[in-house]
Amino acid sequence: MTGILHAIAAAVSGTIVPNPTPWSVSYSVPTGVGNTVAAQLFVNETGSTSQTGLGTPTLTQGSDWISPATQIAPNYWVRATLTAGTAPDIGTLNTWQKISGNLGWGWSNSTAAGTRSCTLTLEISPFSSGANVVWTTTGNLVRAIHA
């Protein structure tokens, strides 16, 4: 395993972040005509993680997956797995996807009342098969509240 990590580190400008902090991304708006809420979590090819949304944010920033986060070749794959809540309407679950640009999971613009919430595990691998996972973060909460 050490040889694989050294080979990966040679291809990356930075260090894979061990024991990452999970994200908590929550956006809320009051119920009302025309009020729109959205929330989304991203894994980026630069080595960073990020979020965006519409409404009032309540955030706990999670860890980037490479430190320092810099532009790298998109030679990594990410998989998001739903561990609680409802499957988000943005993003693909349970499939290894090549990190190209920004890959995201979450809730699109909605004016419907209620809370949409999911908790995700994110994993990153240098292989499309998911072999030799080099980064995992669990307990990533993405929530859109319209109440």
Residue 116 DSSP SS3: strand
Residues 6+ apart with CB under 8 A from 67: 14, 15, 17, 47
Answer whether 142's CB lies under 8 Å from 120's CB. yes
State residue 95 phi and psi, 5-degree precision.
Answer: -135, 135
| pLDDT category of residue 70 using cuts at 50, 70 and 90 | confident
pLDDT digits (tens, 9 = 90+) for 86-141: 999 999 999 999 998 889 999 988 878 899 999 999 999 999 999 999 999 999 99
Query: Mean pLDDT for the chain?
Result: 87
Global pTM reads 0.86
Within the chain, what is the greatest distance between any pair of CA atoms? 57
User: Among 93, 82, 87, 94, which residue's Cα sits nearest to residue 108?
Assistant: 87
**pLDDT at 16 > cutoff 90:** no
Neighbours of 130 (CB within 10 A): 15
